[in-house]
Amino acid sequence: MRVELIFTVRGEGRMLPMDYQYALSSWVYGVIRQSDSDFSSFLHDRGYADGNKRFKFFTVSELNLYPFKAWRERKVFEVLENTFKVQLSFLVDRAYREFVKGLFLRQRGTLGDRFSRVEFEVTGIRSLASPVFGEVMRYRSVSPLFLKVREESGRVVHLSPEDKRYEDALFGNLREKCRTLALHGEGEAVLEREDFGFRLLRTRGSRILRLHPYTEREIRNRVYHLDFELRAPVAVQEVAYFAGLGADCSMGCGMLSVLDESR
């Protein structure tokens, strides 16, 4: 299930920190947590547990701010219009669609920090159509992908899609999500190595994504935007599309769109 939220700016603030992803994800979690529902318990409190790991199968796009002005020396975006948009994607039954729309409509929030912030209200929500999935799909990242590996030395490496280890890391991440779903009796997604393939079409850029910015817990991750081809069973393609691909999907990474090859 995927929906698009339309935010209307409230208040005078127009400067939005470029590292807004953590604040945006926190706001989404806050709205879900406030709802007294099975949906809230599922996504926020329980999720899917696999050993010490817990997957929340949901992801958030980057904000669609166009038109905007980037003040790179100040690391802020200036919001030039009164509205902007974001997509939310959930690996949940479509029966939740109307509930989600009602949950977010008219919610208010603030994105930013003590230096720059934008206040907003959700004034519109629309459901987005699902693509027709096949065993070979071409995708474009809507929010950047993040993958990491720990080397034998203990050093953690943030992988570039050009790294020869990228395909195996992507396979491991997606297989673990499918395995966790199966353990909880959710879905029929099964992934074997011979059924999986990744082919990079284009790297569209990289940047440092900061989580918990301006705090002692600040984390800096190297993330990448890319176009790529993914070979996997249809049920696995659905997991990648709706839950996100790679790590930190609930923190605003890994959302995909089907690549329009006519562009």
The domain limits of the chain are 2-127, 136-258
Q: What is the pLDDT of residue 231?
A: 98
pLDDT of residue 42: 59
Beta bridge partners of 119: 10, 110
* pTM of model > 0.75: yes
Mean pLDDT to the nearest integer, 173-177: 92
In 3-state terms, what secondary structure has residue 81?
Answer: coil
- Kindly list the distances between the CA atom of residue 88 and the CA atoms of 121, 143, 251, in Å, as whole numbers in the listed order: 16, 11, 12
Considering the domain 136-258, what is its CATH architecture?
A: 2-Layer Sandwich (3.30)
Backbone CA torsion sign across 3, 222, 141, 118: positive
Identical topology for domains 2-127 and 136-258: yes
Q: Is the pLDDT of residue 45 over 50?
A: no
On the question of pLDDT at 19 being above 60, the answer is: yes
What topology is assigned to 2-127 in CATH?
Alpha-Beta Plaits (3.30.70)
Least confident of 31-35, 202-206, 241-245: 31-35
Q: Which two tokens stand for residue 124?
A: 């519109």
